[in-house]
Amino acid sequence: MQFSPTNGDFTFVSSAEAEELSGTISTPDIKLNMGSDGGKDPYATTFLRQRGYGWLLEVEEDDSDDNKPLLEELDIDLTDIYYKLRCVLMPMPSLGYNRQVVRDNPDFWGPLAVVLFFSMISIYGQFRVVSWIITIWIFGSLTIFLLARVLGGEVSYGQVLGVIGYSLLPLIVIAPLLLFIGAAVSFVFQLFGVFWAAYSAASLLVGDEFKTKKPLLIYPIFLLYIYFLSLYTGV
């Protein structure tokens, strides 16, 4: 008697019959393709995705931000900085410069470069003035900002910091001249440089909203640049 039990799709045969069985099993040609080809997923890709492992096939794309130039990464616009420097050096409205861009579009690197350059030309024999100049720039601008807000001005601290920093440029222009002229003429040039810097800054920060209170803001700006010049001359 031959016993051939069955279990689902499988049929159990005796060892005698197994010797007579022969054949081959054909399998589909499966190629592993990690990407899509012609809009159709290959078998391996479909298999992984159906079972929730599709994330294994994802390829991380390169971030274009990593390839930005250094100046763009630091948000440094040299053309914008150069234009602002010209607006400060030539503050007369008749020259046609849009000077309000110095106030309305503040940046940090341009004023910092001007302040550092002014500090560099002030370090002969008094290296410690470098930290003082940067400190006075930061806290002096904060004082002007707080005073402007109290008087009703609509300015931000970043705008004041940028305008005060850029407006140091006239003092940088006259600084080399002070080395070659006498004491009497030097005083005139110093006074001219302070007025130049103070006018450039005040004309941007002191708007019509101050009305009759303009001297209350112009005066501390003028004193601030006098102090900057005193750090340079050592007075």
What average pLDDT does the chain have?
Answer: 75
Which helix (H) or strand (E) segment holds residue 170: the answer is helix 169-174
Using pLDDT thresholds of 50, 70 and 90, give the confidence band for residue 51: low
CA–CA gap between residue 133 and residue 121 (Å, rounded) = 11
Question: Looking at this protein, which amino acid is placed at residue 41?
Answer: D
Classify each residue of 94-126 as buried b or exposed e, where b means 16 or more C-beta atoms within 10 Å of its C-beta. eeebebeebbeebbebbbeebbeebbeebeeee
CA distances from 63 to 54, 55, 56, 68, 73 (A): 22, 19, 19, 10, 13
Using pLDDT thresholds of 50, 70 and 90, give the confidence band for residue 40: very low
Which helix (H) or strand (E) segment holds residue 214: the answer is helix 214-233
6-27: average pLDDT: 53
pTM of the model: 0.65
Query: Considering only 1-10, 60-69, 76-85, 192-201, which range has the smallest mean pLDDT?
Result: 1-10
Query: Considering only 97-101, 152-156, 189-193, 207-211, which range has the smallest mean pLDDT?
Result: 207-211
- Residue 7 β-bridge partners: 10
Q: Quick check: 142 pLDDT over 90?
A: yes
Q: Quick check: 41 pLDDT over 60?
A: no
Please report the pLDDT score of residue 180 as a whole number: 79
Please report the pLDDT score of residue 138 as a whole number: 92
CA–CA gap between residue 150 and residue 194 (Å, rounded) = 25
Tell me the pLDDT tens digit for each residue of 121-135: 876 656 667 788 888
* Residue ranges per structural domain of the chain: 70-233
Tell me the pLDDT tens digit for each residue of 144-197: 999 888 887 788 899 899 999 999 999 988 888 887 777 778 888 889 999 999
